[in-house]
């Protein structure tokens, strides 16, 4: 970014220097005294209504505006490039949806996972937790033996298969984020991402409980 600023500043300085040299070398035109005397009243009237901007001043103002606009656009572009995102490649069949990811944006390959846990639903308790360098797995259960499994993993290089045989599987939006949901018998599954991690919630609880857990995760997205 500093190289771009320096380059634009140099271009601006060169342009101003050239215009100043041209203005200094240009011959100065002078009207006759008689003409200036006759035009004096008109000049006074015009000066009360018109602010003069010379060609040199106009060119300099345009250059400054272009310089500022370019820097702003460059800054926004840099921010956009820095924010990671995922492109889904979904191969749909009657048996399953096979999902692979194309990671876009800047991702630190040496970054450690930032664990994001969903809110534990009422009546459930955590029965196991496994936190590793690239994943975060939690299992929940209640007194009715209903269970919920939660997985958070780095998306880069991941491939996921979702069961589609005799199930209602489709893409949707939850809390403003793209998600894939599946319903089969008494099982429900919600799959989504934040550009860096993928999140997989599944269980035989009611779908509303699973959805509320997904929203509690999405609220923690940066």
CA dist 36 and 44 (Å) reads: 12
85 by Cβ neighbours in 10 Å (0-12 / 13-18 / 19+) ranks as middle
CA dist 196 and 174 (Å) reads: 18
- Return the pLDDT at 103: 64
CATH topology of domain 86-218: Protein Transport Mog1p; Chain A (3.40.1000)
Sign of CA dihedral 103, 83, 137, 214: negative
Domain ranges, ordered by start, for the chain: 2-82, 86-218
Token pair, residue 173, equals 């939006």
Per-residue pLDDT of the chain (222 residues; tens, 9 = 90+): 566 666 666 666 676 677 667 666 666 555 566 656 656 655 555 444 444 444 445 455 555 555 555 555 554 444 444 455 666 566 777 777 777 766 665 556 667 899 999 999 999 999 999 999 889 999 999 999 999 999 999 887 677 777 777 788 889 999 999 998 999 889 999 999 888 899 999 999 999 999 999 999 999 998
CA dist 118 and 210 (Å) reads: 10
- Return the pLDDT at 169: 86
Q: What is the dihedral of CA 70, 72, 74, 77, to 10 degrees?
A: -140
**The overall pTM is greater than 0.75:** no
What is the enclosing helix (H) or strand (E) of 71?
Answer: helix 55-82
Cβ(99)–Cβ(88) below 8 Å: yes
CA dist 136 and 111 (Å) reads: 15
CA dist 6 and 167 (Å) reads: 59
- Return the pLDDT at 23: 64
- Return the pLDDT at 66: 53
- Return the pLDDT at 81: 44
- Return the pLDDT at 51: 46
Which residues make Cβ contacts (< 8 Å) with residue 123, sequence separation at least 6? 142, 143
The strand pairing partners of 53, in sequence order, are none
């Amino acid at each position: 970014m500093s190289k771009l600023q320096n380059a634009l500043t140099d271009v601006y300085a060169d342009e101003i220097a050239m215009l100043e040299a041209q203005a200094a070398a240009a011959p100065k035109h002078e009207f006759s005294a008689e003409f200036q005397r006759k035009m004096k009243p008109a000049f006074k009237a015009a000066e009360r209504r018109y602010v003069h901007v010379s060609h040199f001043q106009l060119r300099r103002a345009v250059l400054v505006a272009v310089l500022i606009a370019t820097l702003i656009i460059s800054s926004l572009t840099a921010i956009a490039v820095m924010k990671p995102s995922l492109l889904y490649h979904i191969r749909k069949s009657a048996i399953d949806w096979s999902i692979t990811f194309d990671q876009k944006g800047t991702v630190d390959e040496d970054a450690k996972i930032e664990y994001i846990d969903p809110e534990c639903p009422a009546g459930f308790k955590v029965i196991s937790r496994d936190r590793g360098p690239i994943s975060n797995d939690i299992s929940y259960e209640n007194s009715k033996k209903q269970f919920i499994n939660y997985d958070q993993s780095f998306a880069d290089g991941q491939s996921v298969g979702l069961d589609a045989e005799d199930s209602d599987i489709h893409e949707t939006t939850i809390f403003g984020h793209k998600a894939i949901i599946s319903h089969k018998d008494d099982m429900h599954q919600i799959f989504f991402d934040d550009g860096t991690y993928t999140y997989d919630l599944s269980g035989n609880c009611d779908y509303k409980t699973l959805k509320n857990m997904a929203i509690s995760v999405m609220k923690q997205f940066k």
